[in-house]
Structure 1
Amino acid sequence: RCAARAALLAVERAEALRNEQRHGLAVPGHGAAPIRLHVSDALRDIGDGVTELEEALFERLGHGRPRRAPVAERLTRITALLGRTAADPTLARHARDELRRMARRCSRALGETEEMVRLPGRCPWCDSVSLRVFPERDAVLCVNPGCRCADPACDCASDPAFRHLWERAEWDAAHGGAR
């Protein structure tokens, strides 16, 4: 009885190997699907980031500690606090930076990062050859980390991680559509 079972298993293994070699068919459960650790890491990082951001907002706004909840519910609660968050410039900047960081991390994990195209010419603020166009966003950005514009209301003046960005209409008006 054991010999018959062993022979049957050997025939099945040989048939599965033949199918895989000939047709690319594998037995369910026996394939080695690639593990995308960067996606798993991004999910964990974004989930932790949402939790930490919500806790920071609740604490700063005097709401105590938020109750445990899935990420989607936490995001809904964060959205409900945006009006009060905007009234505190330091808190608003922190929330903006964290949300941007998580959005970039998500985009990279999904392979949705937008390709930059080099723009000929020099930046009107820093005179560097570091202008890039984001075709999908329809915007121009100076990637020079030291570039700062003269507008004190612009985030590039106060946030070292932020780069000055011109929307298409603003760039075209100032530079005659040269892109």
Structure 2
Amino acid sequence: MNTPNASTSNTRTPDAGARADVRKSGDRKSGDRKPGGRKSSDRKPGGGPSADTVTATTADAMTADALLWIELLLRQFPELLTELAPAYRSPSAPRPTPAGAHRAPAGPTRAEREEALRAEQAHGLTPSGARTSPLRLHISDAVRDITDGVIELDEAVHDRLRLPRPRREQVAGRLLRIAGLLDRAAADDVLLEHVRDEVRRMARRCTRALGGAEPVVRVNGRCPWCDSVSLRAFPARRAVLCVNPACRCADRACDCRTDPAHRHAWSEGAWVRLAAESGADLAELTASTTDTARREGSR
């Protein structure tokens, strides 16, 4: 019987010419990433910020803008409700008689009855109380539009964020509730933009109903048509207009020849050409038409 040699080992060793595929702890391949580092493909060409950084910055700016519009609406909506309260006496009613003279009867005057009849025939509205008061329809329409808009926006935000249906609340309470959800809405670009656009629209409606003027920013440079320093930026319209009433262009079909109220306007797509023809700085022109609540809220 053959017995194995005790001096012979059963373990196979690699050949002398073979190399073990073992790397030292300090060695790295050319394709390895350092801990916390970026690949060259992760960086934006030219060394600029990545798309994620730009998106986050845009979301922060949009959130801040929405908050400013909400603050403006919270401040002005109570004033709108105050303007809705009618005066005690109609402007068309006769003035009260001086002291000591014969007093008019307690019932409504003829002028008040005629005014009430005209309002009822034109709008189907009847005044409450013994006396008529001026019906401020543009204020009433603005209050109704803003109230309905805030309710719909509050419900839309809760639905988009998969939250329970919001409780019934006054306009101010709903606006504060929307403002408290802006941090969560910032993760949804579509929702955040919708919130910003809606509160901006309602705040502007409130401002216009209260008699506030549209913000206007002067633009450096001269109008390409009339060579006048009359270029003005209207951030609410995202447009630049020439406010010179005597401005005339070379286009025979333009309304500037027949309509005295017509003004030449350049939309956002024509700003590059306008800057080149008027001598204005494109960066300054774009900044002057930036639509933010800070400019309008500080008026």
Q: Which residue of 2 aligns with 1:20?
A: 96
SS of 2:163's partner is coil
Equivalent pairs: percent with the same residue?
49
Question: Residue 155 of structure 2 contacts residue 165 of structure 2 at CA under 8 Å; is this kept in 1?
Answer: yes
SS of 2:140's partner is helix
Opposite residue 166 of structure 1, the aligned amino acid is S
Question: Where do residues 123-142 of structure 1 align in structure 2 (5 Å cutoff)?
Answer: 131-132=231-232, 142=240
Structure 1 segments, 4+ long, off by >3 Å, are 17-23, 25-32, 114-123, 143-146
1:107 pairs with 207, 231, 244, which one?
Answer: 207
Greater C-alpha Rg? 2
Shift in Å at residue 28 of structure 1?
Answer: 7.6
Question: Residue 54 of structure 1 contacts residue 78 of structure 1 at CA under 8 Å; is this kept in 2?
Answer: yes
Q: Which residue of 1 aligns with 2:268?
A: 147
Question: Where do residues 38-77 of structure 1 align in structure 2 (5 Å cutoff)?
Answer: 38-77=138-177
SS of 1:67's partner is coil
Question: Residue 141 of structure 1 contacts residue 166 of structure 1 at CA under 8 Å; is this kept in 2?
Answer: no
Shift in Å at residue 32 of structure 1?
Answer: 3.8
**In structure 2, distance between residues paired with 1:18 and 1:113:** 33
CA 1:27–1:62: 2 relative to 1, 3 Å: farther
User: Which structure is richer in relative contact order (CA contacts within 8 A, separation 6 or more)?
Assistant: 2
Question: Residue 141 of structure 1 contacts residue 165 of structure 1 at CA under 8 Å; is this kept in 2?
Answer: no
Q: Which residue of 1 aligns with 2:182?
A: 82
Structure 1 segments unaligned to the other structure (5+ residues): 1-16, 124-128, 151-162, 169-179
Structure 2 segments unaligned to the other structure (5+ residues): 1-92, 109-130, 224-228, 242-264, 273-284, 291-299
Cα deviation, 1:80-131, whole Å, max 9, x if unaligned, reads 00111122111111111101110111011111123637657369xxxxx994
Question: Residue 239 of structure 2 contacts residue 267 of structure 2 at CA under 8 Å; is this kept in 1?
Answer: no
Q: By percentage of residues, which structure has more helix?
A: 1
Query: What is the total number of aligned residue pairs between the two structures?
Result: 130
Question: Residue 39 of structure 1 contacts residue 109 of structure 1 at CA under 8 Å; is this kept in 2?
Answer: yes
Opposite residue 41 of structure 1, the aligned amino acid is D
2:192 pairs with 89, 92, 103, which one?
Answer: 92
Opposite residue 163 of structure 2, the aligned amino acid is H
Q: Which residue of 2 aligns with 1:166?
A: 288
**If the length of structure 2 is used for normalisation, what is the TM-score?**
0.36
Opposite residue 93 of structure 1, the aligned amino acid is E
